[in-house]
Amino acid sequence: MVGITSYGAYIPKYRLARDVIAKAWGPRFISGERAVANYDEDSLTMATEAALNCLQGRDPKSVDGLIFASTTSPYLEKQASTLVATAADLPAEIFTADQLSSLRAGTAALKSAMDAVKGGSSKNILITAADSRRAEPGSDSEQLIGDGAAAVMVGSTGVAASIEGTYSVSEEFLDAWRKQDDAFLQKGDSAFIQTYGYARIVQNCVEGILKKYEMKTGDISKFIFSAPDSRIYARLAKTLHLPPGSFMEDPLLTTVGDTGAAGPLMLLVAVLEKAQPGERILLCSYGAGNSDAFLLQVTPEAERLRERQGVSFYQNIKRPLTNYEKFLKFQNTLPHEPLAPFSSWALLWKEQKQNLRLYGTRCKKCGTFAFPRRRVCQKCHAKDEYEEAKLPRQGKVYTFAKDHLFPSPDPPTVMAVTDMDGGGRFYGQLTDGDPNQVKIGMPVELTFRRFHQGDGFYNYFWKLRPRE
Amino acid sequence: MSIKDRVAIIGVGTTKFGENFEMTYQDMALEAVYEAYQDAGLETKDMDAAWLGTLSPGLTGLEGDAGASLAEPLNFYPRPVTRVSAYCCSGMEAIRNAAFGVASGEYKLVLAVGVEKMREVPPRGSLVARHIHETHPLLSKGRTAPGIFAPIATRYFHQYGYTKETLAKVAVKNHYNGSLNPKAHFRSPITEEAALKAPMVVDPLGLFDCCPTTDGAAAAILTTPEFAQELKKDYILIKGMGLAVTHGYFSMAFQEDNDFLGFKSTREAAAMAYRQAGIKDPRKEIDVAEVHDCFTITELVNYEDLGFCGRGEGGRLIAEGITALNGELPVNTSGGLKSCGHPVGATGVRMVADVVSQLRGRSGKRQLKKVDIGLTHTLGGPGSIACVFVLGRP
């Protein structure tokens, strides 16, 4: 049996009420709010968060593949999955790949992972999908889009939802696109694409998989579709004659937004969080004429994953972004000089086990732990007699300061000294928090973020954030 | 063999500290040195060697990167000039090395000079930019100079119950002292209310908790006590010199033994200097002190680290006026870094010049009555290096 053995999700903390956008531009297309990646987040960091949540309680060494799925990878040339895998402390001897440029990239990754596990070339493949698309200010897409990530582990032991069947449709169709140099999402004629694009192709794919496996609508407990817009989503459910309760009334659109390539997997995670053993799920993605459908069946193992940090966990963790201009700055829509201090890949390459994987040293003679790493023990002076040991990711603030000098789109920059639970100390930026709420003793945890563009590349490192 | 009483200071000089837009790095070095020459009644041809303290040559076209930046304006050729750098201890470190040059017997007369040109660029382009742009790409990224000391204030308040009002008292004292010092950058007294109302720089440190960005240079001439006597100068003796390096640069805030309530470097350097000078009770034995008040909180923890009071009592010392100009142990009678400004390489030498002036009774309106033993202290980088001198009259 091959299927989903674990899952996790991530939704950035900032939420922008659509009213705030409407206040700047006029009509509101959809109610509620959308999730907004903080200025130090991108698809790579969000995918890392989701991956870490998916890995919770699992040995990273058991993973032998990682696929990153997105339409907004930070680099056009430079694979993102390698860095996600490194930050997640997966072994170096694994297969990694990026599945890019399609809104069904997440399900494309799911399909290839399933095939690899079925074929026996891999045992456990982690798929992590994230998107953070930009729309032109004032466009309806600006309101519809949201940022988020989801991760699923595909394997054959401890399967919580088995994959019983798949079906795909691939038809050349152009409804939404971004060319190499387009800053914003482009869209075709809405009446045309609604009728001949999404609705028709998803319908074909759903009917196709049901027919292939000789099933009827009534055999499925939950239908999950990509949902680029609440109206056409509702219309599709009607066309398919889905009974009420067999699909999500609000596919995260009023709380998170359309999370692009991450969308189908985020919805899958949201459904799995509540699914009962025996239930059948039909998952169907859509991206520019392509659609992948999966038939899944929930097993009793699903109960084991209930406590995971998934969609419902993050839906409750939010901080309102009340300022539209700040949103534009977070999105990099407002032009500004990027922060590009000294950096050197030659330096960072040497230090990646420390800076990306968070390993310090533990003296073999006296047990003293050091982060950053020390070749000579701080206590007993033993030289090069250490073992590598991980810095814990959670701790409590020992002291802090709020810096108004350090350049940031979200000042002040809170710098916190943190004693980690289980030993070690970390000093760094505290993100996602209200500077006025920071206190000595406050529980915090490390989160992987984009730091700056020193030496012309994206520098990633860990920051602290309030622990929920 | 101790360094005590083996080296004499026979001349000091200081430029005006401030935004010296009209002077180059070399102009300032020259002005400070010639004032010291005048004080000692000597000239370049009498000197055997020199040490130059500068932190950041990058702020002014790499001037100060090597001893040549001092040799050139003085026409000091071909004698040895050594550039030293030890964060904010660079100036005192220049003097310390110069003193060893004399004590070794190799040189009879040496120059120790500190110079820093910081205002060729806007204040945010100076040390602020250095912290932001030139440090490790990731570790401690987000830390600025006030950001090093602000978390100490946060912890200090938390631990002992002090508030920003205590910090303001340090600013008020040092601004008052600076108002009496013709060479200080800031020469206006301020009120506690004004200090408390000032905008935040790195919360909880506001504008008046921070020293300014300043140009300046200072010089000292060192020789043996025997030769000083020969010259019949009212010389001053070095009684003790301690330099302690206790942490690294990026990693100091990661150290679990760092309590953020003071600096081990200061405690270690003070212990060295006190041992050499034979100081047992610093509060009683020291008559005047110039300490590193880069930020108001630093002065408070310095009181404790230097043994002027117990841990946690620094706030009480300032509140009770002990360290005021008319107090029992006046601290920063020059106005400190807070009012004089902090041209990094120059600061330690400027402190020595100020304490030497107090010991010789030449401090004008700021002159204290009884001054036999003085102390200077600089604290560098994230607090990982400290230098402490004890100076005294023969």
* Residues B98-112: tens digit of each pLDDT: 999 999 999 999 999
Strand partners for B353: none
Each residue's pLDDT tens digit, B285-333: 999 999 999 999 999 999 999 999 999 999 999 999 999 999 999 999 9
The overall average pLDDT reported for chain A is 95
- The pLDDT of B169-182, averaged and rounded, is 98
B161 touches chain A (CB under 8 A): no
User: With an 8 Å Cβ cutoff, are A403 and B142 in contact?
Assistant: yes
Query: Could you give the CA distance from residue B62 to residue A54 in angstroms, rounded to a whole number?
Result: 52
Q: What is the pLDDT of residue B2?
A: 86
Q: What is the pLDDT of residue A141?
A: 92
Buried b (16+ CB within 10 A) or exposed e, A165-175: ebbbbeeebeb
Position B22 pLDDT exceeds 90: yes
Of the pLDDT bands very low, low, confident and very high (cuts 50, 70, 90), residue A203 is very high
Residue whose tokens read 């900032």: A14
Each residue's pLDDT tens digit, A189-199: 888 888 898 98
B157 touches chain A (CB under 8 A): no
**Contact present, B214 and B118 (Cβ < 8 Å):** yes
Q: pTM for the full model?
A: 0.95
Residue bearing the bigger pLDDT, A337 or A457: A457
Q: What is the CA radius of gyration of chain B?
A: 19
Q: What is the pLDDT of residue B364?
A: 95
Of the pLDDT bands very low, low, confident and very high (cuts 50, 70, 90), residue B267 is very high
**Contact present, A372 and A354 (Cβ < 8 Å):** yes
Collect all residues of chain B within an 8 Å Cβ-Cβ radius of residue A379: none
Q: What is the pLDDT of residue A228?
A: 86
User: With an 8 Å Cβ cutoff, are B138 and A461 in contact?
Assistant: yes
User: With an 8 Å Cβ cutoff, are B200 and A412 in contact?
Assistant: yes
Position B21 pLDDT exceeds 80: yes
Q: What is the pLDDT of residue A27?
A: 84
**Residue B211 known to be catalytic:** no
| Length of chain B (residues) | 394
Which listed residue (B131, B292, B342, B377) is catalytic? B342
Query: Could you give the CA distance from residue B198 to residue B212 in angstroms, rounded to a whole number?
Result: 14
Query: Could you give the CA distance from residue B107 to residue B384 in angstroms, rounded to a whole number?
Result: 31
Position A338 pLDDT exceeds 90: no
**Residue B175 known to be catalytic:** no
User: With an 8 Å Cβ cutoff, are B154 and A400 in contact?
Assistant: yes
Collect all residues of chain A within an 8 Å Cβ-Cβ radius of residue B295: none
Residue at A114: amino acid letter: M
Each residue's pLDDT tens digit, A3-62: 999 999 999 999 999 999 999 998 888 899 999 999 999 999 999 999 999 999 999 999
Question: CA nearest B70: which of B32, B36, B17, B96?
Answer: B32
**Contact present, A310 and A9 (Cβ < 8 Å):** yes
What is the separation of C-alpha A58 from the centre of its chain, rounded to a whole number of angstroms?
18
B341 touches chain A (CB under 8 A): no
Of the pLDDT bands very low, low, confident and very high (cuts 50, 70, 90), residue A273 is very high
Between strands A386-390 and A359-363, the pairing is antiparallel
Q: What is the pLDDT of residue A29?
A: 83
Each residue's pLDDT tens digit, A274-327: 999 999 999 999 999 999 999 999 999 999 888 889 999 999 999 999 999 999
**Contact present, A198 and A247 (Cβ < 8 Å):** no
Of the pLDDT bands very low, low, confident and very high (cuts 50, 70, 90), residue A337 is confident
The 3-state DSSP class for residue B152 equals helix
If you measure CA to CA, which chain B residue comes closest to A461? B138
Of the pLDDT bands very low, low, confident and very high (cuts 50, 70, 90), residue A438 is very high
Give the distance from residue A366's alpha carbon to the nearest chain B alpha carbon, in angstroms.
Answer: 16
If you measure CA to CA, which chain A residue comes closest to B128? A405
Non-local (6+) Cβ contacts of A138 within 8 A are: A24, A25, A26
Non-local (6+) Cβ contacts of B318 within 8 A are: B166, B169, B170, B173, B299, B300, B303
Give the distance from residue B260's alpha carbon to the nearest chain A alpha carbon, in angstroms.
Answer: 8
Of the pLDDT bands very low, low, confident and very high (cuts 50, 70, 90), residue A89 is very high
Tokens found for residue B23: 């002077």
How many beta carbons lie within 10 A of that of residue A108, not counting itself? 22
Question: CA nearest A40: which of A428, A426, A389?
Answer: A428
Q: What is the pLDDT of residue B223?
A: 98
Position A212 pLDDT exceeds 90: yes
Q: How many Cα atoms are found within 13 Å in the side-chain-facing hemisphere of A176?
A: 23
Each residue's pLDDT tens digit, B335-345: 999 999 999 99
Q: What is the DSSP string of A373-419?
A: --SB-TTT--BS-EEEEEPPSEEEEEEEEEESSS--SS-SEEEEEEE
Torsion of CA B219, B224, B226, B229, to 10 degrees: 10
Question: CA nearest A224: which of A201, A203, A246, A196?
Answer: A246
| Length of chain A (residues) | 468
Q: What is the pLDDT of residue B32?
A: 98
